[in-house]
């Protein structure tokens, strides 16, 4: 299930539009100014747009897509991972996706995505432990 989730996540974020491995073209000359490093600026622009569909997809879509990540990381780990470790792992995976989007020119590299993806991993982590707590409570 986790492998399918990761495959789907990368297909939707990095390798969208029928992007095949033999079609890779690296854009090393892409200017760093293409990266949005100012938090929430693009999200606020989307909130002011005529259609709020992009705003809601950007905000909630980025969160929802990373909820399984925050759930799977502690569930599949052989050792107990604390909150900070899961947050850092979620953030690192998100940064990796953003870096691939930048280098492969398959998406917009945006700090907002990293923030919302990491928040999604946090939600997944909290849901994982809520599930464990409920399971323990039911067994009492």
Distances (CA, A) of 94 to 14, 49, 79, 101, 114: 11, 26, 22, 11, 5
Phi/psi for 27 (5° steps) reads -110, 75
Q: Which domain holds residue 9?
A: 2-139
Token representation of residue 89: 């792992």
The C-alpha angle 71, 80, 64, rounded to 5 degrees, equals 15
pLDDT tens-digit profile, the chain (140 residues): 999 999 999 888 887 766 566 666 666 677 777 888 999 999 998 988 878 898 998 899 999 999 999 999 999 998 889 999 999 999 999 999 999 988 888 888 999 999 999 999 999 999 999 999 999 999 85
Number of domains in the chain: 1
3-state helix, strand, coil in the chain (%, to 5): 70, 0, 25
Q: What is the pTM of this model?
A: 0.86
What are the residues facing 127 on neighbouring strands?
Answer: none
């Amino acid at each position: 299930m986790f492998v399918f989730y990761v495959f789907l996540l990368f297909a939707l974020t990095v390798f969208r539009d029928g992007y095949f491995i033999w079609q890779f073209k690296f854009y090393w000359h892409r200017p760093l100014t293409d990266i949005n490093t100012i938090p929430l600026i693009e999200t606020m622009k989307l909130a002011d747009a005529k259609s709020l569909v992009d705003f809601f997809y950007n905000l909630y879509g980025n969160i929802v897509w990373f909820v399984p990540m925050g759930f799977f990381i502690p569930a599949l780990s052989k050792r107990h991972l604390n909150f900070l470790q899961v947050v850092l792992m979620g953030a690192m995976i998100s940064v990796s996706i953003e870096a691939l989007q930048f280098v492969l020119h398959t998406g917009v590299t945006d700090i907002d995505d990293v923030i919302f993806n990491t928040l999604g991993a946090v939600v997944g982590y909290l849901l994982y432990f809520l599930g464990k707590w409920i399971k323990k409570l039911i067994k009492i």
